[in-house]
Amino acid sequence: MIQFNKIRQGTYFYILLICFTFLLSCKGENDSSDTGGGFLSNLFSSESLPVLDPSEVVQALDELKAAGDLSMEDEVQSFYAARGGKAFWTTDELRKVYLDKLSEIEREGLHPEDYRLKALQQLQETAPESPKDHAHFEILLSDSFLNLAHDLYYGKLDPVEFHWIWDVERDTLDIDSLVQSVENSNHLVALLDELRPNHQVYQGLIESLAEIRVSLQQEQPVFDPIPMGEAIEPGDKDPRIPAIAARLQQLGLLEDSVDSTSTVYSPELEEAITNFQKSKHMAADGIIGKTTLRELNMTLEDRYRQVLVNLERWRWYPRDLGQHYIMINIPQYQLAVVKDGDTIKRHNVIAGTRQRQTPIFSDQLDHIVLNPTWTLPPTIKAEDVLPKAARDPSYFTKNDMVVSSPQGDPVDPSTVDWSSSDARNYVITQRPGATNPLGRVKIMYPNQYSIYLHDTPAQGLFERSERAASSGCVRVEDALDLAQYVVQNQPKGTKQEIDSILKSGKTTNVSISQPIKVYHFYWTAWREGGETIFTEDVYAMDQKIAQALLSS
Which tens digits make up the pLDDT trace of 39-79? 333 333 344 577 889 999 999 999 999 999 999 998 888 88
Give which of 87, 78, 90 is closest to 60, Cα–Cα: 87
- The more confident residue out of 6 and 280 is 280
H-run or E-run covering 180? helix 175-185
pLDDT at residue 48, as a whole number:
59
* Spatial separation of the C-alpha atoms in residues 346 and 327, rounded to whole Å: 10
Residue 187 bears catalytic tag = no
Residue 477 predicted with pLDDT over 80: yes
Residue 334 predicted with pLDDT over 80: yes
SS3 288: strand
β-strand pairing of 360-364 with 342-352: unpaired
Side chain identity, residue 296 = L
Q: pLDDT digits over 216-249, tens only?
A: 998 888 899 999 999 999 999 999 999 999 999 9
Residue 517 predicted with pLDDT over 90: yes
* 178 class by beta-carbon count within 10 Å (0-12 exposed, 13-18 middle, 19+ buried): buried
pLDDT at residue 188, as a whole number:
75
pLDDT at residue 254, as a whole number:
92
Residue 151 predicted with pLDDT over 70: yes
| Global pTM value | 0.84
* 431 class by beta-carbon count within 10 Å (0-12 exposed, 13-18 middle, 19+ buried): middle
- Of the spans 49-58, 74-83, 175-184, 367-376, which averages the highest pLDDT? 367-376
Kindly give, in sequence order, each residue whose CB lies less than 8 Å from that of residue 73, ignoring residues fewer than 6 positions away: 65, 143
Q: What are the residues facing 445 on neighbouring strands?
A: none
Residue 87 predicted with pLDDT over 90: no
* Spatial separation of the C-alpha atoms in residues 538 and 536, rounded to whole Å: 5
Residue 511 predicted with pLDDT over 60: yes
Residue 473 bears catalytic tag = yes
pLDDT at residue 8, as a whole number:
41
* Active-site pick, 134, 150, 347, 454: 454
Kindly give, in sequence order, each residue whose CB lies less than 8 Å from that of residue 108, ignoring residues fewer than 6 positions away: 152, 196, 206, 209, 311
pLDDT at residue 482, as a whole number:
97
Residue 143 predicted with pLDDT over 80: yes
pLDDT at residue 16, as a whole number:
45
* Spatial separation of the C-alpha atoms in residues 216 and 210, rounded to whole Å: 10
By percentage, how much of the chain surpasses pLDDT 70? 89
β-strand pairing of 166-167 with 360-364: parallel
C-beta neighbour count of 114 within 10 angstroms? 18
Query: Measured in Å, how far apart are the chain's first and last C-alpha atoms?
Result: 11
For residue 383, what is the DSSP state? I
Span 422-426, mean pLDDT?
91
Q: Cα–Cα distances in Å, from 215 out to 65, 107, 299, 507?
A: 42, 15, 11, 57
Span 419-438, mean pLDDT?
91
Phi, psi (rounded to 5 degrees) for 526: -160, 170
Q: pLDDT digits over 238-287, tens only?
A: 999 999 999 999 999 999 888 878 999 999 999 999 999 888 777 788 99
Q: Cα–Cα distances in Å, from 349 out to 188, 222, 329, 436, 468?
A: 43, 37, 9, 18, 9
Cβ 179 vs Cβ 34: under 8 Å: no
pLDDT at residue 259, as a whole number:
81
Residue 347 predicted with pLDDT over 80: yes
- The more confident residue out of 127 and 296 is 296
Residue 80 predicted with pLDDT over 90: no
pLDDT at residue 490, as a whole number:
85
Cβ 154 vs Cβ 141: under 8 Å: no
Kindly give, in sequence order, each residue whose CB lies less than 8 Å from that of residue 50, ignoring residues fewer than 6 positions away: 131, 134
